[in-house]
Amino acid sequence: MSLSVYDITVPVMVHGLNVMDDYLDHAQALERARRFEPGRILGERLASDMLTFGEQFSVSCNKVDAHMAKLMQRDAPAPHNTLMMYSA
């Protein structure tokens, strides 16, 4: 059986994005349970020298974009610095 680079990388990236989606679901549930304003947890840090929770998600998504572009032999897109927000 032959494996391609796609077979090795894309499922791992999809799994990682699904895990991040689960983290967001848990954060949203915690906000509801503790009656925090929506999106508060996205601005939190575990340590003062860390990126915020939302910024870490943004960096991760930018890395997936860059890796996929490289896999498709295209120029990497400019990193997005999109403000993360919860949708109801």
| Angle ∠(12,56,6) on CA atoms, nearest 5 | 20
Contact 84, 57 (CB under 8 A): yes
Q: 């870490």: which residue's tokens?
A: 56
Is the pLDDT confidence value at 86 over 60?
no
pLDDT at position 5, please? Answer: 85
Q: 């983290």: which residue's tokens?
A: 23
Q: What is the pLDDT of residues 5-61, one digit of tens each?
A: 888 899 999 999 999 999 999 999 999 999 999 989 999 999 999 999 999 988 998
What pTM was computed for the model? 0.77
Which has more confidence, 63 or 80?
A: 63
pLDDT at position 22, please? Answer: 96
Ramachandran angles phi, psi of 32, nearest 5°: -65, -45
User: In the predicted model, what is the mean pLDDT of residues 78-82?
Assistant: 77
Structure tokens that stand for 65 in this block: 């974009």
pLDDT bin (cut points 50, 70, 90) of residue 83 is low
